[in-house]
Each structure stands twice: as C-alpha cells, then as structure tokens.
Chains A and B, each alone.
Chain A
Amino acid sequence: MLEKNLVYIYDAAKHPFQPLDEFKQVIKYRFLIIQLLRRDIVTRYKRSVLGIAWTMLNPLGTMIVLSVAFSQVFKTTEGYPAYVLSGLLAWNFFSQASNASMVNLIWGEGLLKRIFLPRTSFALAAIGTGFVNTLLSIVPMLIVMLLFNIPITLTILFLPVPLIILAMFSLGVGLLVSTFAVYFPDVAEMYQIVLTAWMYLTPIIYPEEILPENISFLISTFNPMYSIVKLFRIPLYFGRLPVFSEWFFPFVISLVFLVVGWFVFVFRSNEFSQKL
C-alpha cells in the first residue's frame, strides 16, 4: 500500500549532498513556490484601489521626484528620467527581492519548526515576485522612453539575460542575509541601512561619468551591482547589445554569489528549526 517515496530515511553517516537535495525538493515543491508567489502578488494589491497599476506607478513616482530634483544637475545625461527609471527598476528588483527573502523566512518560522518544506522556498518565491513586478514595470519604462525621445530598439529582447542575472544575484544575497537574520534579529534593520548606502554607491540616480576616476575604479571593481545595473540599462536605455565582458563578468559574479548563498543557507538551515 505504502508508496515508496513516503519512506523518509536519514542516516547521519551517509546523508545526501544537501545543496543538491534541496534543489530536488524545490522541484518537488514547485506548487508551494507558485502559491507563495501568488500570495505575495495578490495580497500586495488586494486592498489598494489602483491594484496592479501600483507596481508600475511606484517606481514612476520616485523617478518623477528624482527628475525634478536632479534634471538640471545632470543636464548632460540624455533623457535623464529614462536613465533614472531604468536604474531604479534594476535596483528595486534586487533590494526588494533580497529583503523579501529575509522577511518571508522570518514569517515562516512557525512553519519551519513543524513541517517539512524546502527552506529555500521563501527566498525563491520572493525572487519570483520581484521578477513579475519588474516585468510589469517595463511597460511604464517604455512609455517614459517614448516621451523623452530615447529610441526603443529591438535590443530589449536581450532583457531576459540581465533579468536572470539580477535574479541569481538577488537570490544569492537574499539567502546570505536570511541566514544571518535567523541568528541575529538586528540584521533585518541593518540590511536596510546597507541597502541605502549601497544604492548611493551604485550609479542609479547619477551618471557614472561624474565619478572621479579613482572612485569610479573602486565602484566598478568592487560593487557587483555596478555592472549588473549597467547590463540592465544597455539593451533598454542605451539601445545596444552588450559586448562579451559586459555580460560575462556580471554573470560569473552572480553565479558565485548564488552558489555561495545557496551552500551557506542550506548547510545552516538544519539549525533553523531550533534557532528561529
């Protein structure tokens, strides 16, 4: 009578390789991740009159404020509102998704103590939500580009590549901060401060040309978001295809973060049910 997959055997002496096992469980629990993603999106819009339009208006509002404030300062940047908005979309994806990974995990603590589910589900759902929100935000982005005479070219078909790289990086960072947040409650607050500082160290609201050469060198070398945001802007705002180094290095960095985040999180996650 008993189905074979219902037998759970765990032997501490010869257990499966955990990072791989977690991946298999994620595939098995895909319905859960879809449900969590759906919950995040539905609950965000349910009680607001604007509904789904809010996703599009939110970055647009920030863009308008920034444009009013900085258009004169950064006169040389062609179509400054489009420049800012394209940067904001990429940044918001990263900051919101990595933050939501942590918040979701803390929300799920009661469950993690009692029922088995892949612990990365919460982070994966957060990244999925960020992905959907960003896709929706591309619509107002295109309108802004039209308004400010930035040509829309077919290179936007390349956008899935930067989006996937952003998702990988956000997941990696999200898993790392989630792990710390389990042990230290103050990490959640500190991460907000880190995100704010990090945003100002990334050319989002200012053109990178204004940076002095030595600082520009430091940022482009040590801030992974620099090249990731740039890669997002290239097919959209700059209307061209990236050269090899422009997509390859962000890809490798994101992959490294993803693998490190996944391993650290998975190896630590067995303790979560005792710590949370």
Chain B
Amino acid sequence: MAEKIILNDITVSYKIPSERISTFKEYIIKSIRRQIHHRQFYALKNISLEIMEGESFGVIGHNGAGKSTTLKLIARVLAPSLGRIEVRGKVSPLLEIGAGFHPELTGRENIYLNGALLGFSRREMDEKFDSIVEFSELNNFIDAPMRTYSSGMWARLGFAVATDSQPDILLVDEVLAVGDEQFQQKCFSRIERFRQNGTTIVIVAHSMETIEANCTRVCWIDHGEVKYIGAPDIAITKYRSSQ
C-alpha cells in the first residue's frame, strides 16, 4: 500500500491580536494609540502523519484542537507555515450541503457552476452530467430554478455533483446529513463502494460512534499536537479519559 497523504513536520501558525478587534474603525484607532499587540498562535505544532491508500482515517479532538486545520491542509485551502505536505490524487471534499448553488439558476446551470468550483472543465462536466442527474433523481426538475427545490433536493444535487466520479481521497467533515433516509442510504452505499475501490477517506467528526463505526485508524489531536495515532478504540479511550 502506498502513502496517499504525507504531512511532514507541519506547523501552522499565525499572528492574532491579543484582544478581539472586530471593526476597521477600532483597528485604526487602536493602532494609532499603539494598543494592538499580536501574539503567535499555533494551530498545529510539528504534526507528522501518513495516511495510506484505502484507509478510513479519523481525526478527533476538542473544538479548536486543530482537526479542521488538518483537513484544510489536505484540501489545499491552507498552506502550512513550516513543513512539507504531499497529497497524491484527486481530493474531493463533501461540501456543506448546497454551498455554491445559486437559487435563481436552474439545476442544470448549477451542476456546471458547482462542477467548475470543484475544478472540473466543461468537457468533464458534459461527460458527468447525465449520471449526476440520474443519481440525484431530479430528471423532471433539472431545468427549474433551484429556489423551487426542497432542501432535500438541494442536498441530493450537491452530493451527486461532489461524488460523481470516484475521488482518490474523500474528505468528510462531520456527519453526512442529506435529505431523507432512503437517499442517505444511497449516499452511504456510494461512499462504501468508493472505500472498497480504494478511495482514502478522512473523517473529522464529533460523534465517537461515527468514528468507531467507520474508521480503520484514528488520530487524536490536542492543542495542535498529535497525542496518539492508532486503533480507533484506543484513541477514543485516551481522548475520553483526557476530558
């Protein structure tokens, strides 16, 4: 098995003002009075981990421990301050349902817009279009504006676009809540099929049941540092006993 994701001695840090400054006016006034002091904040400290092909890797920890930051590194939306990161393969994040859809556009137009946001070209979207519509079960509504869709229909279309082609790496933030139970089942079986076909899955969740049921290996992060990597039950026990 090959490594899919390698984080090598990663540190993410940035300067934050020692007190919260919420408006530009406040910022100007305080900077004139020289009242702004910054301190270095470490979201992640010297993290190293390797995630293998076909693994279902869970990340657990308190709020603000660095779970989402880890996911952002892998999703490429955040570059580390120190260290080296390598991600091999097409990464597909499961988006917050409906992010990127526009209510005034039709389902068809939104499929293309959403596909573009996920980095696909027009040609790729032309090829994917039919199977997206089929999976989302929205054949009869595809040329209606999305404001006429129910929330379940939004969710279905969002999931269908994001998971149409099998990604090498799937990022799952929190539990999947898509539409009705029947469709949820359909989503889970699609993810299960990806898993069997070798997709690496990285899951960040608060629910220990989700982690225990889905992960083959778990990393516990606390205050930006890796405390434990290994079997899910041990990681969960250690995490719980720290609380």
Interfacial residues, chain A to chain B (CB-CB below 8 A): 2, 6-13, 15, 29, 31-32, 34-36, 38-39, 42-43, 46-47, 110-117, 180, 183-187, 190, 270-271, 273-274
Contact = CB atoms under 8 A, between A and B. Distances in A.
Given A29-B116, A190-B24, A273-B78, 12 more contacts: A7-B86, A8-B85, A11-B83, A15-B79, A29-B119, A32-B119, A39-B102, A42-B109, A43-B105, A117-B117, A273-B72, A274-B72
Interface stretch (B90-98, B134-142, B175-183, B212-220): B90-98
Contact of A110 (B99, B122, B168): B99
Nearest to A115: B93
Interface string B161-176: 0000000100101000
Contacts of A180: 24
A9 B78 contact: no
B25 A115 contact: no
A211 to B, nearest CB: 30
B112 A117 contact: no
Contacts of A190: 24-25
22 contacts: A2-B89, A6-B90, A7-B86, A8-B85, A8-B88, A12-B79, A12-B81, A12-B84, A15-B79, A36-B116, A39-B102, A39-B109, A46-B145, A113-B72, A114-B95, A114-B96, A115-B117, A115-B118, A116-B75, A184-B24, A271-B14, A273-B78
Contacts of B224: none
Contacts of B47: none
Interface in B1-48: 14, 21-25, 27, 43
Contacts of A117: 117, 119
A12 B88 contact: no
Contacts of B88: 2, 6-8
Interface residue tally of chain B, by bracket? 35 or more
Contacts of B80: 10, 12
A191 to B, nearest CB: 10
Contacts of A187: 24
Given A12-B80, A31-B122, A115 B104 contact: no
Contact of A115 (B24, B77, B109): B77
B186 interface: no
B87 interface: yes
Q: Which of B24, B75, B89, B95 has the most CB of A within 10 A?
A: B24
Given A42-B105, A114-B93, A184-B24, A273 B77 contact: yes
